[in-house]
A and B are shown apart, each in its own frame.
Chain A
Amino acid sequence: MIRLESVSKVYTDGGETVALDSVSFTIEKGEFVSIMGPSGSGKSTLLHILSFMDTPTSGKYIFAGVNVQDLDQNDFAHMRNERMGFVFQAFNLLGRQTVYQNVELPLMYNEIRQSERSARIERAIHEVGLDDKTHAEASTLSGGQKQRVAIARALVCNPDIIFADEPTGNLDSKSGAQVMSILAGLNRSGHTVILVTHEKSTASFANRLIQVKDGRIESDTRIQSIQEVNELIK
């Protein structure tokens, strides 16, 4: 599904900073991958490149058999809309809009028929267990509920991959566990999940852990439990 070949990213603003240095790996469809690393290690840059929000300075990125270099900004937008879902640490909901309207947002940029939209939105809201909050204003929800709305929004276009950037960073442990259970459930139902996190407990939901340091892949390991994560990250 995803193949990176010697991908580098160099920022030139105010001097040269190498954020990613010749990174290569492959992610297959249906995997649940955690990317961990200290601050400034390049994990967010890696996520941005994987999700077409940034482009590599050099190297090759193949997504679903397509060389990303051959795509333009409009293609990126369409790919993000149709094949990718996003969950952010800060939720990024439209506070004055309802849960329904927030979940509807990606469909506004999609050619899905109006008649099918409502069914999709309601199904996505149901999957995250917020049926009773459908018409509540997003700003009135708790942190955990907000993140579940964000997951529903990420789901509504039925993407191949869900990118989650520190999805539990702003949540208490109970809400965090709830959010991670939902993401794990989505992975079980066939979605590829790629998440960036600082937290070992969050990372332990994945079945593969990629550790990044100084822009390089430090380790890339299959995992099955938190003990294994603890072993890897001491």
Chain B
Amino acid sequence: MLGIIIGISSVIILMSVGASAQNFILGQVKSIGSNLVFVIPGATKGSRFQSPPSVQGIVIKTLIKEDLDALLHEPSILSAAAEVRGQAKAVYENNDTTATFSGTTETYFSVREFNVVRGQPFYAQDVVGLNHVAVLGEKIADTLFGDKDPIGKTFRFKNLAFRVVGILEKKGIGPGGVDQDNLVLIPITVAQKQMLGIDHYNFVTVQANPEYTLEFVKSRINSVIRQNHRITDPDKDDFTIQTLDDAVAILSTITGVMTLFLTAIAMISLLVGGIGIMNIMLVSVIERTKEIGLRKAVGATRTDIIRQFLIESMILTLFGGLIGIALGAAVVTLIYFGVTTFADPTYSFELPMSAIILAFVVSSLTGLVFGIYPAYKASQKSPIEALRYE
């Protein structure tokens, strides 16, 4: 019984945590913005689950300013933002920290829905003029400036002086685990030329014109970049196009497999529990030998005896399953309170109905499967021998 309780509660907990994690990850991906298409340098070969080489850390320099300019002239594209990323030490007075920066274009704020809550974003002239201006995430602003108002203040970032022009609204953890509130946004030209010493982009985010389908926009991006890169054979593409739907599908598959894997582990405890139930039922068959004999004497057929013991073992496991569901739900609630109190108040947990239904089905099936042998043993007893049993 304990095995069934632990097994079922594990199924409930793992499915709930799995579903919540899936929702969390997908929520983060969807929070990037709508109607977005990502252009990533390097081609993805084979499965769509394989990452482009640039994502795996290989430097590919094929995505450049001419590509962005061409994309911005495409009617099916509403806007596009290029981005390069790096890390550097940020210092203000006695405070310092290592921060991730995003060198980007002025379009980034609208494309990625990064709203500036204090001050202002940077503009095209800042990008063209290589101005040392920065928009900070809420957390890094706190780390560097504490109670002081950061707007207009200058901090040192990789030994360059940057003036803070704006503070971003709180965004939380972004896809890939990047804390978006710890991000420093600076003009892409400054990041490329003065901080990283590169001419290429890490990737370009395209905001599709809602008047066109995403598929059409993807095909247009393909054409534009192939033309720019003088590629005639699609097999020789040196870039990858991904939409949020692709990312969501990939992440859903990954988190789904993860949940399935964890559930399979929980099933092992159910198997152990099932064997326990079988032993209980076998002992019960021996203890109730006289009763079986009596039932057969007064007219129970073998089928009646099998049915009775199967029902009893199913009731036993269903009862264990109910306790397991209650225990699992209690643990999930505790985890929920723990996470929302001590980590992320916006984190939402869910106890999927499918988990409860699965727990019910699995616990009764466990009773059924592991009750068959004891029930069969009971049905085979001769009424005379069973009645004589002491």
Interface residues of A (CB under 8 A from B): 48, 51, 53-54, 73-74, 77-78, 80-82, 86, 88, 90, 92, 94, 105-106, 108-110, 153, 157
**CB-contact partner of B297 in A53, A82, A157, under 8 A:** A53
Q: List 14 A-B contacts (CB under 8 A).
A: A48-B384, A51-B297, A73-B302, A77-B304, A78-B301, A81-B299, A81-B300, A86-B298, A92-B290, A92-B297, A105-B294, A106-B298, A106-B299, A109-B299
Per the bound structure, the CA–CA distance linking A25 and B40 in Å amounts to: 99
Per the bound structure, the CA–CA distance linking A109 and B382 in Å amounts to: 17
Number of A-B contacts (CB under 8 A): 54
Per the bound structure, the CA–CA distance linking A153 and B301 in Å amounts to: 18
A194 to chain B, nearest CB (A): 15
Closest to A86 in B: B297
Per the bound structure, the CA–CA distance linking A157 and B299 in Å amounts to: 10
Closest to A48 in B: B384
**CB-contact partner of A80 in B299, B304, B382, B387, under 8 A:** B299
Contact, CB under 8 Å: A88 / B387: yes
Contact, CB under 8 Å: A153 / B298: yes
Q: Does B296 contact A (CB under 8 A)?
A: yes
Contact, CB under 8 Å: A82 / B299: yes
* 10 nearest A-B residue pairs (beta carbon): A81-B299, A109-B299, A106-B298, A77-B301, A92-B294, A53-B383, A109-B300, A80-B299, A53-B384, A74-B301
A165 to chain B, nearest CB (A): 9
A162 to chain B, nearest CB (A): 12
Residues from 248 to 283 in B contacting A, C-beta threshold 8 Å: none
Per the bound structure, the CA–CA distance linking A157 and B297 in Å amounts to: 13
Residue among A77, A80, A88, A106 facing the most chain B CB atoms (10 A cut-off): A77
Given A48-B384, A88-B387, check contact A73 B301 (CB 8 Å). Answer: yes
Contact, CB under 8 Å: B304 / A109: yes
Per the bound structure, the CA–CA distance linking A110 and B295 in Å amounts to: 12
Per the bound structure, the CA–CA distance linking A77 and B298 in Å amounts to: 8
A179 to chain B, nearest CB (A): 18
Q: Does B169 contact A (CB under 8 A)?
A: no
Q: Does B142 contact A (CB under 8 A)?
A: no
Closest to B290 in A: A92
Contact, CB under 8 Å: A54 / B299: no
Residues from 276 to 332 in B contacting A, C-beta threshold 8 Å: 290-291, 293-304
Give every chain A residue within 8 A of B299 (Cβ-Cβ). Answer: 77-78, 80-82, 106, 109-110, 157
Supply 11 further A-B pairs (C-beta < 8 A) apart from A53-B382, A77-B299: A53-B383, A73-B301, A74-B302, A77-B304, A80-B298, A80-B299, A81-B300, A108-B300, A108-B304, A109-B301, A109-B304
Give every chain A residue within 8 A of B387 (Cβ-Cβ). Answer: 88, 90, 92
Contact, CB under 8 Å: A77 / B294: no
Contact, CB under 8 Å: B295 / A105: yes
Give every chain B residue within 8 A of A106 (Cβ-Cβ). Answer: 298-299
Give every chain B residue within 8 A of A94 (Cβ-Cβ). Answer: 291, 294
Give every chain B residue within 8 A of A73 (Cβ-Cβ). Answer: 301-302
Give every chain A residue within 8 A of B295 (Cβ-Cβ). Answer: 105, 109
Give every chain A residue within 8 A of B301 (Cβ-Cβ). Answer: 73-74, 77-78, 109
